[in-house]
Amino acid sequence: MVDFKLDVAFIDRENEMAELRNYLENRPNSILFLYGPKSSGKTTLMYRLFDQIEKERGYEINFLNLREVFLASYDDFIDAFFKSTEHDNGIKTGIHRQYSLFGLFKLDAFTERMLRKKQEDPFLVMKREFQRLQKKNIQPVVIIDEFHKLDGLYIPDKQKRLMVELMNFFVAMTKESHLCHVIIASSDAFFIEQVYVDSKLRKTSKFMKLDYLEKEDVFTWLSDIRKYNKVKEYTLTREDIELIWDTVGGSAWEIYSILEDLFQHSLGDIAAKIKREKVAMITDWIFRDPVGKRETVLSRFVDSPVLGIKAFSPDQLDTLGLAVKDNILYYDPVEGEYGIQGRSLEWGIKEYFAAEQ
Ligand SMILES: Nc1ncnc2c1ncn2[C@@H]1O[C@H](COP(=O)(O)OP(=O)(O)O)[C@@H](O)[C@H]1O
Ligand SMILES: [Mg+2]
């Protein structure tokens, strides 16, 4: 292993972890959707959960991160979800576990061939596997990250949307048969909204939001980067930490980026550069709209980083949707709120409009 000058650490997510564990310790009864702004730490939290409960007997965790998977056809889906035991040799799941588990369900070669020839129903294969595990007193858990990537795939011959069928299947597996726990994560606000407006799915699901880190946790972390990140070259004063929090808030990814730059540059310069970049990003986004709708919508956020949907008119919905798609805003369908995607972008918006006046 190479020793880097900045180690990554996992910063406390005690409450969120407890909520996930509570879900798993109850009888399967609903799908759990984990959502939240981009880079809030969803994937990291799930890997953590996976590591924790994997060590405990009695669970069989199937973790699939679709971000790493190429999905263009139904066959790609079969490849991603199922893995023949014949192909097992060579792939050491133990070592690479953390970042790539190939295939959710292990199959015998016969079933795999049948699946590929579409003479076997993948949903039945999964159900049989859950039943087999439950008979052995093992609780199956399915975790799928970036689930929305399945959108656009269809079940051959039936012309049904795979994503929809899979979700219906998971409803049956949780609420109806209580066979397995299902955790689905996605940063795609449009996907979460689709799930949420579907009354059947909403009633059979739980929604858990993962936001950026809290101030207290960021302060605990940054007060001791020697302990958390093995940084020896510098330490951070209380004022430094205040400035970092003020600039990027609890976005762990941006905090790491600052810690990396601090080996080279002063914190004042780094913070100023981040703000300039965000102003440029907002300027560019607004500039691309000749009729000025984008500017009107974003101007509403100068005084408040989060706004309920009622703050807007229906003819602004398309612009809001675009802002979500372009990662300027996020949408929380459960709360019915739009918010700026991170503290640093709040600065971008504030300073853009300050300069306009
Ligand atoms: N609890 C945490 N402690 C430290 N770093 C974190 C934590 N959660 C996330 N990060 C870092 O933030 C970045 C984004 O996290 P990620 O899990 O990919 O977000 P998401 O899946 O929500 O888009 C990663 O580089 C990760 O290392
Ligand atoms: Mg992720």
C-beta of residue 181 within 8 angstroms of C-beta of residue 60: no
> Last residue of a domain, which of 149, 178, 209?
209
pLDDT of residue 242: 98
Q: Are residues 56 and 183 in the same domain?
A: yes
> Last residue of a domain, which of 165, 187, 209?
209
* 316 within domain boundaries: yes
CA-proximal residue: ligand 1, atom 24 (nearest): 253
* 9 within domain boundaries: no
pLDDT of residue 103: 57
Q: Are residues 197 and 284 in the same domain?
A: no
Q: Are residues 283 and 350 in the same domain?
A: yes
Structure tokens given for 287: 């500039």
- First and final CA of the chain: distance in angstroms? 53
Q: Are residues 165 and 236 in the same domain?
A: no
Ligand 1, closest atom to CA 185? 21
Mean pLDDT of 22-27: 94
Q: How many domains does the chain have?
A: 2
Q: Are residues 89 and 148 in the same domain?
A: yes
CA-proximal residue: ligand 1, atom 12 (nearest): 253
Q: Are residues 177 and 192 in the same domain?
A: yes
* 45 within domain boundaries: yes
pTM of the model: 0.90
The candidate with the shortest Cα–Cα distance to 345, out of 269, 296, 274, is 274
Q: Are residues 21 and 129 in the same domain?
A: yes
Ligand 1, closest atom to CA 46? 17
**Ligand 1 centroid from CA 9, angstroms:** 10
Which residues sit with their C-beta closer than 6 Å to ligand 1? 8-11, 13, 38-44, 187, 252-253
Structure tokens given for 352: 């853009």
Alpha-helical regions (H) of 3-147: 14-25, 42-54, 74-81, 93-96, 109-116, 122-135
C-beta of residue 102 within 8 angstroms of C-beta of residue 62: no
**Mode of pairing for the β-strands spanning 337-340 and 205-209:** unpaired
* 1 within domain boundaries: no
**Ligand 2 centroid from CA 23, angstroms:** 20
Confidence of residue 100 (pLDDT cuts 50, 70, 90): very low
Mean pLDDT of 100-104: 48
* 2 within domain boundaries: no
* 60 within domain boundaries: yes
Q: Are residues 137 and 231 in the same domain?
A: no
Q: Are residues 196 and 257 in the same domain?
A: no
* 247 within domain boundaries: yes
Averaged pLDDT of the chain: 89
The domain that holds 76 is classified in CATH as 3.40.50.300
pLDDT tens per residue across span 228-284: 999 999 999 999 999 999 999 999 999 999 999 999 999 999 999 999 999 999 999
The domain that holds 342 is classified in CATH as 1.10.10.10
> Last residue of a domain, which of 167, 189, 209?
209
DSSP, collapsed to helix, strand or coil, labels residue 44 as: helix
Domain extent at residue 171: 14-209
